[in-house]
Amino acid sequence: MAQLNPGLGLVGIGKQTAKGTPAASPTFGHGLYSGTLPHVERDVQIDEVTSGAAGDTSAFLASIIGASDYECPAYFGSAGLYLLAALGADAVTGAGPTYTHVITLALPRPYFTLWGSLSGIIQSLQDCKLDQLELTWKANEPLHFKPTWKGGALTMPATYVPGTAESGDSRWTPVGGTFQIDVVGSTLAAVLLTQGDIKINNNVDTPLCSGSITPADILEDKQQVTISLSALVSDLGMWKEALTGTPTGTAPTSVVAYGSFSVQFVNGTNTLTLACTNCPFVVDFPAVDAKNANREITLTAQPTIASGGSTILTATVVNSVATY
């Protein structure tokens, strides 16, 4: 008998022009590290009614909601589309083959159609929005994207044909990148980062209305961004600056001090830069251990929109894609 082979799973993504108008085919398609392809989750509940029997007697279908949650490489082309889904606005300048996409926070965020191909079965979800996007890297491993989607109606098309199939080395790694932080202020300086995690949470809701078991809409709520950066250090200067507000401080500050960071990944002419300018950093005081010296500190923050600004995080992508 034929065997299910999870190693042959593929995902596709395409931006819709409007709610209820699914994309005709994936703009980009690629493989995954792990996770679940686009599918629907059925919520079947027991109707808790008493009866003459010594057990439950009926159930009902409460909802059918589209979902997908996977981990994939940050490919040159689709990375911009994922970041657009997470943030909402893309301002494009330049000319081919190097277009510059400055992607920032805006409402409403676009709807997307997702495709999944596994073991000869193709599934497609329309009217999807990105609930979360997590970006992680460690040492010189490739940059990982972890998107979590919520969506609407499911179909099973006959074909899966992406406009661009991404694979191989067309993705970013930390090699050749630039990693900068200012714990308090905006004068960025190079740091020795060992790993990082940036999570964009759009708190997507899927309201249900009477008469339909699929969501009435896919709605984003207030955006929250959290970051965690681990740096190799030779002293406790960053910890002291975060605590006191200045590198020479001697007492904890009673006000919130905001810092900034910028991380850039480079591969040829393709670059991906992620930057925040309003980060209230908390720097963990390192533990001591006589046998295992720890020379790393971890900086965490939940950045906010700066006074007069309009975005928490700015993503700048330079690639050969003219428009998303």
| Angstrom distance (rounded) from CA 302 to CA 212 | 37
Q: What domain count does the chain have?
A: 1
What pLDDT is attached to residue 247? 84
| Residue 324 maps to a domain | no
Average pLDDT of 242-270? 94
Average pLDDT of 230-256? 92
| Sign of the alpha-carbon torsion through 131, 137, 138, 141 | positive
CA angle 323, 267, 99 (to 5 degrees): 20
| Residue 131 maps to a domain | yes
Average pLDDT of 284-310? 88
What confidence tier does 78 reach under pLDDT thresholds 50, 70, 90? very high
| Residue 40 maps to a domain | yes
What pLDDT is attached to residue 2? 58
72: closest CA among 114, 128, 34? 34
DSSP-H helix ranges across the chain: 78-87, 237-244
Residue 49 has pLDDT above 70, yes or no: yes
Average pLDDT of 194-223? 95
| Residue 314 maps to a domain | yes
Q: Which helix (H) or strand (E) holds 65?
A: strand 59-73
| Residue 79 maps to a domain | yes
What confidence tier does 16 reach under pLDDT thresholds 50, 70, 90? very high
Average pLDDT of 41-54? 91
Mean pLDDT of the chain: 94
Beta strand 164-165 with 28-30 is parallel
> Tens of pLDDT along 264-279?
999 999 999 999 999 9
What confidence tier does 215 reach under pLDDT thresholds 50, 70, 90? very high
pLDDT above 70 covers a percentage of the chain that reads 98
| Residue 209 maps to a domain | yes
| Angstrom distance (rounded) from CA 313 to CA 272 | 13
> Tens of pLDDT along 94-132?
998 999 999 999 999 999 999 999 988 899 999 999 999
CB burial class (10 A; 0-12, 13-18, 19+) of residue 103? buried
Average pLDDT of 31-46? 95
| Residue 1 maps to a domain | no
What pLDDT is attached to residue 115? 97
What pLDDT is attached to residue 196? 98
130: closest CA among 27, 16, 239, 231? 16
Residue 8, token pair as written in the block: 């042959």
Q: Structure pTM?
A: 0.94
Per the structure, the complete domain to which residue 15 belongs is given by 6-319
| Residue 17 maps to a domain | yes
